[in-house]
Amino acid sequence: MFRKTINNTNPALIAPSSIVYHLIKHDLKLAFKKGSGVGNMLSFYFIVSILFVFGIGSNPKDTMLIAPAVIWVCALLVQSISVSRIFADDYDDGTLEQLILQGELPEKIIMARIISNWLTGGFLIILFSPCLAVFFGLDWATIKKLVISLICGTPLLSIISVSVAALTLGIRRAGVIFGIIAFPLYIPVLIFGASWVSAPESFFANMGLLLAMCLFMLPLGVAASVAALKTAFDEG
């Protein structure tokens, strides 16, 4: 928990401008800790994607047509799994409250969690997706478009995931409610991220829409998350 870091460090030495760095560093250490969830998530990403190949059959045309959509669906699932307790542990042990009482802006905490979620989810997916795309038999031009679409879309998945995680903080059966709220919001991202395969001429339009959605959702998601955190503390 980040509380240990705070307790072992003089709060006066942690400048307000560096709290985002410290939170991201803390999250990355936990994520890449031995036996942590990053290895499990990447294993899940590869295994589920490969299972789709066996389910589709041996027809190369079918595999190449559905491969980008499969990779996108698996990327979506990985990022939703990685955010499940991004606030809950720090909320339960009082770390979030301690940070806010020390004068840290909730907006910085939200931004740090969005960045760390993307680094431990979307960024890794972007790095490993070309390997998986080669396994699917995709050509280099399609792989480049796939990577570009993930670069444009995975930050939006992180914004949505972290925002919904904040909205469901402190609620019983938060995991179920998270899915009910988040997955309808994921659908437009999935559509614009993967539909260019069947309509290649729409690729740049779809990427523009993803970037526009990302710019629109970032301030909205941060504001909603801050309000949710304050409500959780008031009710707690």
Q: What is the pLDDT of residue 19?
A: 81
Contact between 189 and 79 under an 8 Å Cβ cutoff? The reply is no
| Dist. CA 45–CA 77, nearest whole Å | 8
Mean pLDDT (whole number) for 114-141? 89
Residue, of 119 and 11, whose pLDDT is higher? 119
User: How many Cβ atoms are within 10 Å of 71's Cβ, its own excluded?
Assistant: 25
Residue 78: C-alpha distances to residues 37, 41, 115, 119, 203 (Å)? 10, 6, 15, 12, 24
Name the most confidently modeled range: 77-86, 131-140, 207-216: 207-216
Provide the mean pLDDT of the chain: 82
Q: What is the pTM of this model?
A: 0.85
Q: Distance between terminal CA atoms of the chain?
A: 19
More confident: 11 or 85: 85
Work out the burial of residue 151: count CB atoms within 10 Å of its CB; fewer than 13 is exposed, 13-18 middle, 19 or more buried. middle
Whole-angstrom CA distances from 165 to 127, 221, 227 are 25, 11, 12
What dihedral angle (degrees, nearest 10) is formed by the CA atoms of 108, 111, 116, 117? 140
Local confidence band at 236 (pLDDT 50, 70, 90 cut-offs):
low
The DSSP letter of residue 104 is -
Tell me what the mean pLDDT of segment 181-206 comes to: 88
pLDDT at residue 17 is higher than 90: no
Mean pLDDT to the nearest integer, 178-205: 88
How much is the average pLDDT of 57-66?
73
Question: What CA–CA distance (Å, rounded) separates 128 from 109?
Answer: 28
pLDDT score, position 68 = 87
Report pLDDT digits (tens) over 106-119.
898 899 999 998 99
